[in-house]
Amino acid sequence: MTTVDRTPIQAKLIIGGEELTVGSGGTFTHINPATGKAQAEVPLAGAKETNQAVACAKEAFEVWRKTSPTQRRDLLNKLADLIVENADEFQRLSTIEGGTPYSMAVAGAMIGEEWTRYYAGWADKLDGQVVSHTPGDELIYTVPEPYGVIGIIITWNGPLISLGMKVAPALAAGNTVVIKPAEQTPFVATLFGQLAKQAGIPDGVINILPGAVESAQTLIAHKDVKKVTFTGGPITARKILAQCAEHLKPAVLELGGKSANIVFDDDAPNMMETAQHAVGMSVSLLAGQGCEFPTRLLVQEGIYDQMVEAVTTIASHLKIGDPWDPKTTVGPLINADAVTRVQGMIDRAIESNAGRLIAGGQPVELDGELAGGSYMAPTVFADVDPQSDIAQHEVFGPVLVIHKFKTEEEAIEIANSTEYGLGGYIRTQDVKRAHRVAAALQTGFVHINGSRNIPACAPFGGLGLSGYGKEGGRPGLDEFVFLKSVSLAP
């Protein structure tokens, strides 16, 4: 196994191009998820630094909005180039801060680069339209205008992906940003900010503030922050919305999910591929810590028993352990609190007879330097009551629930029975059925016969407890502009 430096970089606040190693919010002791040991002290922004960052972003906005669209395009493309050039470092830092298996962590850089380059291409294509057939023969046209300073708050899973999804369209549209990354994942955000400066993006256009609650509250409430975009959970989102409502401030929310993966009998020839995808995307990838992961597997009765057996076998043979080991397929959860929370949901499901436990169900204790890590066995329940808590609520950990259904109508009813609406998955060889079911699913993105990581070219976002607003495609760009109408009298 190749030895990789496991030392984190110095986490920093980046305000107006200046890098700070001290913040008025104190420090956060960063715990390595793989070992449970402290590995860094992260400086936290308080209200003071947050106000400074917003002031810098406001000042930079007057320059950035007047920067030609082609120059914004070129600068974002340069940033995308630098993300690729530093992919190995992003890969390393993702494993250090989040416990993502090193063999998989490079995907974050590739996806972050994709989103940054995609929106670089939009920078010189923003246009309005002429309104025809006006009642008084006026010439009326629309102009897309940037909001100004955008507050960006992201969570700890896939931080570089979230940065690409939010920062790139905001900058392409002419906005400036103040970013509050999660204190658990400050290293990737620090490197991102440093590369933005290296790319030539003017100081103050991108400001980065690792911070706790005070920093986020100050950012949201600040009068010069014109819009907020947030990735995280519904509980925090409600608090953010309450603050935004107080100031009549728009927001985009990308929240959680409880995505259904519907497998019909006619998919039997692809059963092993389907089972591998179902397990890999629910309890293996990021240890189940993903918003759109298909954590509910709905299987038609004709192949139900065979699918349960296949899923059990695959899940039971996943390698849990050292994220630096190339053979590891399941790394740690983000921290010990996450293990406690996930275990609590599993225990309640067992106590309430919500389903039949067929794999996992408990934390995993490893030896040596990994003894204090936050490891959880990939857990699978079969014969699950669709209305049980484990089936209705997001676990955000390596837990998959399996339901049996008879008819297409029953599958749709089960799939639509939660308050989430982010993703959906369908496996069938009947193309008419595929599109019929896709139309019936109350969710923001439906994947038929396979899936890939969230593509930048398509709008992504949900409804209900999964939030609202879009990221990706032209709709993701439109979230960062408002339309001004201009009328010229005849």
Whether 61 maps to a domain, the answer reads yes
Whether 2 maps to a domain, the answer reads no
251 and 196, same structural domain?
yes
pLDDT at 451: 86
pLDDT at 199: 99
Q: Looking at 254, 394, 471, 479, which residue is catalytic? A: 254
314 and 174, same structural domain?
no
326-342 pLDDT, tens per residue? 999 999 999 999 999 99
243 and 268, same structural domain?
no
131-140 pLDDT, tens per residue? 988 888 899 9
The more confidently predicted of residues 134 and 119 is 119
How many domains does the structure of the chain reveal?
2
475 and 403, same structural domain?
no
Handedness of CA 215, 207, 243, 393 (dihedral sign): negative
Q: Looking at 56, 114, 291, 394, which residue is catalytic? A: 291
Q: Where in the sequence is the domain holding 350, given as residue range(s)? A: 260-456
Whether 59 maps to a domain, the answer reads yes
Cα separation values, 356 from 19, 311, 353, Å: 53, 14, 7
pLDDT tier at 2, thresholds 50, 70, 90: low
377 and 286, same structural domain?
yes
387 and 276, same structural domain?
yes
Known catalytic residue: 244?
no
pLDDT at 132: 85
CATH number where 200 lies: 3.40.605.10
What is the pTM for the complete model shown? 0.97
42-88 pLDDT, tens per residue? 999 999 999 999 999 999 999 999 999 999 999 999 999 999 999 99
249 and 192, same structural domain?
yes
342 and 219, same structural domain?
no
165-204 pLDDT, tens per residue? 999 999 999 999 999 999 999 999 999 999 999 999 999 9
Nearest-CA neighbor of 417 among 443, 454, 380, 382?
A: 443
CATH number where 407 lies: 3.40.309.10
229 and 368, same structural domain?
no
- Residue 269 CB contacts under 8 Å (≥ 6 apart), including other chains: 429
70 and 156, same structural domain?
yes
What span, in angstroms and rounded, lies between the C-alpha atoms of 449 and 427? 5
183 and 170, same structural domain?
yes
Whether 6 maps to a domain, the answer reads no
Whether 3 maps to a domain, the answer reads no
244 and 161, same structural domain?
yes
- The answer, yes or no, to whether residue 453 has pLDDT greater than 90, is no
Known catalytic residue: 291?
yes
